[in-house]
Copies of this chain bind each other. A is one copy, B any other.
Amino acid sequence: MSNRENAIHYVKNNYINFESTLVELVKIPSISTSPIHQKDIRSAAEYIQTLLLKIGIQETKILETSGHPVVYGSYVTQQKDAPTVLIYGHYDVQPVDPLELWTTEPFQPVIKNDRMFGRGASDMKGQIVASLSAVEAVIQTGKSPVNFKFIIEGEEEIGSPHLHEVLETQAVLFKNDVILNPDAGMISPSIPTIVYGLRGLAYFELKIFGPDHDLHSGLFGGVVHNPAIVLSELISGMHDKDGVITLPGFYDEVLSLSIDEREKLSRLPITEEDIRKQTGVKELWGERGYSHIERTGSRPTLDVNGLLSGFIGEGSKTVIPAWAMAKISMRLVPNQDPEHVHQQLIQYLTENMPSTVSWDLKKFAGGIASMANTSHPGVIALEKALEKEWGTKPIYKREGGSIPVVAEMQKHLGSDSILTGFGLPEDNIHSPNEKLHLPTWRKGILALVHFFYEFAGENENK
């Protein structure tokens, strides 16, 4: 048997072990946004480091940042002139609220109908374990065709605010020929997917302050401007009737879609009906003049992620709230700059804020959008690898999500990321009841084994 065949064989004999590893990792509640989970973040980083050592990675360390730590690893093969694949991942996960909507415990993974349920099972602890399992197979069964490096961070879900610290000061550690980033997903279990574009992100918290304490709405209703109403009016003005965002200059830097790209995107096998099923909405919505695929991948959007004001308990309480808060974020496309969007939002608020209230705008970490070169050797190797496993050519897609680190790594390391992954649209990532489709995940491990050999230029018979 060839080295590749041995590695494939190894994977097929070890699915149970890989699943157990994933279960252990999902059990760690490594929520990055909440200070309460500081210890769990550390545990997850240490778990990853131990795992790297266990699968045969020669050098590992935990790199400290001003935020959560980054796990580093390096494996040098005995093969001469082997290229280096840097595998990116994040061990942190999204918060779990609203907890009452989960049907299982988010950090007690449960397998039902070929699916593993748990926060992070798909995004992206499952993808980390898939990658490390493929690496384990090629290392343990012969001479690996490639060198490996690892950069597994703990702040992706909060916008990777501190990753640049290690990228800037220790860029030499991460030298590579290609970055594999399995944090993207597939459009269906039968259609392997390569993502060549990602949206950027800008995230804000807006607070409107009215009276200095909650007021009796009978005594003061009619003389005090209600901050919840002011906030609603401001949010209301951020889109026009056609779903177009009204912040001044918002579209000035947006790279428009070429006719060629619009044509290609129109052939993607994702229907409006698919999205209705995944989301449960009765009707889609969005910017007039663009298809549903263009609107998620290639056009910027603005969403309210949270609202809070006044009395939210059961029953009635007749107050005029002292303040009202909204979390507001924008998904950005090439060539928008999150800092420019920040300025546009400030300008919009300044121009539209009534003089009856005061306000505060907090900015959270964001990032620019990215577009990959689809003729990169890594992309070509990945296309072959996915085709080998699925028996069909992968499709190329622009993704609506944001992975700011892709642009960060391009900037600091000068390398391109190739984006794939084995999660599915129905995985409920960032939502209650997140899950991972295990049969697809297993195929993904096999595809990654193929990828390593394809990227090294080894053919089936070598």
**A interface residues with partner B (beta carbon < 8 Å):** 33-35, 94-95, 97-98, 101, 157-159, 199, 201, 203, 205, 210-226, 228-229, 231-233, 235-239, 275, 278-287, 292, 295-296, 299, 301, 303-321, 324-327, 329, 331, 354-358, 364-365, 399-402, 425, 428-433
- Contact status B324-A329, CB under 8 Å: no
Nearest CB of B to A312, in Å: 4
Please judge, given known A-B contacts A283-B356, A316-B329, whether A214 and B430 are in contact too, CB under 8 Å: yes
Residues of B within 8 A of A236 (CB): 229, 232-233, 235-237
- Contact status B223-A285, CB under 8 Å: yes
- Contact status A312-B306, CB under 8 Å: yes
Interface CB pairs A-B, < 8 A, 23: A34-B315, A211-B279, A215-B279, A216-B431, A217-B301, A217-B331, A219-B400, A220-B400, A221-B331, A225-B281, A228-B326, A229-B303, A232-B236, A233-B235, A283-B355, A304-B321, A305-B310, A305-B321, A306-B312, A307-B321, A308-B309, A312-B325, A317-B430
Residues of B within 8 A of A308 (CB): 307-309, 312
> Would you list the 10 A-B pairs with minimal beta carbon distance, nearest first?
A212-B280, A218-B401, A222-B295, A236-B236, A225-B285, A33-B315, A232-B235, A228-B304, A306-B310, A221-B301
Residues of B within 8 A of A317 (CB): 33, 94-95, 157, 305-306, 327, 430
Q: Which of B238, B285, B430 contacts A216 (CB 8 A)?
A: B430
Nearest CB of B to A320, in Å: 6
Residues of B within 8 A of A215 (CB): 279, 430-431
- Contact status A296-B213, CB under 8 Å: no
Docked pose: A331 CA to B215 CA in angstroms: 14
- Contact status A217-B305, CB under 8 Å: yes
- Closest B residue, CB atoms, query A327: B311
- Contact status B222-A97, CB under 8 Å: no
Q: Which of B211, B231, B316, B401 contacts A159 (CB 8 A)?
A: B316
* Number of this chain's copies in the complex: 2
Nearest CB of B to A317, in Å: 6
Please judge, given known A-B contacts A430-B216, A432-B214, whether A281 and B224 are in contact too, CB under 8 Å: yes
Nearest CB of B to A103, in Å: 11
> In the complex, which of the residues A279, A282, A309, A329 has the most CB atoms of chain B within 10 Å of its own CB atom?
A279
Docked pose: A237 CA to B315 CA in angstroms: 24
Residues of B within 8 A of A203 (CB): 316, 318
- Contact status B158-A431, CB under 8 Å: no
Residues of B within 8 A of A33 (CB): 313-317
- Contact status A282-B355, CB under 8 Å: yes
- Closest B residue, CB atoms, query A400: B218
Residues of B within 8 A of A219 (CB): 296, 399-401, 425, 429
Docked pose: A316 CA to B101 CA in angstroms: 20
- Closest B residue, CB atoms, query A284: B223
Residues of B within 8 A of A98 (CB): 214
Docked pose: A299 CA to B201 CA in angstroms: 45
Please judge, given known A-B contacts A158-B315, A233-B236, whether A400 and B331 are in contact too, CB under 8 Å: no
- Closest B residue, CB atoms, query A293: B223
Residues of B within 8 A of A314 (CB): 33-35
